[in-house]
Amino acid sequence: AQSVAQPEDQVNVAEGNPLTVKCTYSVSGNPYLFWYVQYPNRGLQFLLKYITGDNLVKGSYGFEAEFNKSQTSFHLKKPSALVSDSALYFCAVRDGNSGNTPLVFGKGTRLSVIA
């Protein structure tokens, strides 16, 4: 069975500062990892994914994430936060050995970037 933990319900950061949103996962097979962002009353937008290859993955809007197998983590990062980055962020995982099985999501972390 798969699971995802996002240990922080809320992250506050000043505009221009680096941001990190944490995610740890548990999966029995090969981890496929994803980050999505949600703005109010909207669907989820894909940011980036790790399937295989380089542990540092670059995605949309300047975001990146680092896959750490030993720590089973996939933290989302951005070097310089913008007010417009304020949103709800979800980490998700699925077993890469199991076809089109559904993503399992964390509970989300609300990011607030303060001007």
Partner 1 sequence: DGGITQSPKYLFRKEGQNVTLSCEQNLNHDAMYWYRQDPGQGLRLIYYSQIVNDFQKGDIAEGYSVSREKKESFPLTVTSAQKNPTAFYLCASKAQGAEAFFGQGTRLTVV
Would you tell me which residues interact with partner 1 (CB under 8 A)? 9, 34, 36, 41-46, 49, 51, 90, 99-100, 102-108
Q: Minimum distance between the CB of residue 62 and partner 1, rounded to whole angstroms?
A: 18
Tell me the torsion sign for CA atoms 50, 59, 13, 66. Answer: positive
What's the DSSP call for residue 41? Answer: T
Q: Nearer Cβ to partner 1, position 38 or 73?
A: 38
Q: Nearer Cβ to partner 1, position 46 or 61?
A: 46
Q: Minimum distance between the CB of residue 52 and partner 1, rounded to whole angstroms?
A: 11
Report residue 89 as tokens: 């962020």
Q: Minimum distance between the CB of residue 79 and partner 1, rounded to whole angstroms?
A: 23
Q: Nearer Cβ to partner 1, position 81 or 91?
A: 91
CB 100 within 8 A of CB 12: no
CB 95 within 8 A of CB 103: no
CB 114 within 8 A of CB 12: yes
